[in-house]
Amino acid sequence: MALGAAALLRPIASEAADGCFTLDGHAVACSHGFPDPPPIPAQPCRALCWATSLAYMLQGYGAEIGTLDVLSRYGLTPACRKRDDRASLLGAAGQWRDARGRDFLVRTTEMASLHRRYASGQGMDDVLRRVARQPILCGAAGHTTVVTEVQVVHTALSGLRRDRVTVVDPYAPNPRCRDLSSDELRRPFYMVALSIREL
């Protein structure tokens, strides 16, 4: 997840994987994204996951911003009070300043949900292109996580099938990646991508 020429510091993951391989001569599996991202800080409640996930993304662009900084920007305390995560993430658009006094501009973009197993078209293409460049904020788990990798399978008969969606989850007991469950992927959910530009 790089900021490009205007990078603040370091990318969240040094190398994206965007490779395909043949499964059985009739299907091709492709992985898009980052198979080994840094762990995300754990949270004791779901209500703080949006702020932690947003801070994680901003840190990936090199900004020195933590969960408490995000909450402070919204005028909130680190209390476990339910909020509208999607609205909070979309509200991140605008000018920010990190702990080192560096100003940057955040833009938010809503992406297509990955709840449909068989999906094609511009929405899915946009998600796969984006996750190949940077992780995406996601609400499939009932709280915000960060999608780091999406695996799809292409077949001649059924077309494109979403196979696996991997996230880092601040509410999971294990700080490393996990796959979203079929229950989590059953209903539509928000996907919010960030674009960041140093000022």
Domains in the chain (CATH in brackets) are: 4-198 (3.90.70)
CA distances from 79 to 17, 43, 44, 82, 134 (A): 37, 11, 10, 9, 29
Distance between CA 53 and CA 146 in Å, rounded?
6
Percentage of the residues of the chain whose pLDDT score is greater than 70: 90
Are 169 and 70 spatial neighbours (Cβ–Cβ below 8 Å)?
no
pTM score, two decimals? Answer: 0.88
pLDDT score of 3: 37
pLDDT score of 21: 75
pLDDT in tens, 77-109: 999 999 999 999 999 999 999 999 999 999 999
Please list, in sequence order, all residues whose beta carbon lies within 8 angstroms of the beta carbon of residue 151, skipping any fewer than 6 positions away. 29, 30, 31, 32, 163, 164, 165, 166
pLDDT score of 87: 98
pLDDT in tens, 115-172: 998 877 789 999 999 999 999 999 999 999 999 999 999 887 777 889 999 999 999 9
Q: Which two tokens stand for residue 8?
A: 């603040």
Q: Is the pLDDT of residue 36 over 50?
A: yes
Q: Is the pLDDT of residue 10 over 80?
A: no
Q: Is the pLDDT of residue 2 over 50?
A: no
Q: Which two tokens stand for residue 38?
A: 């840094």
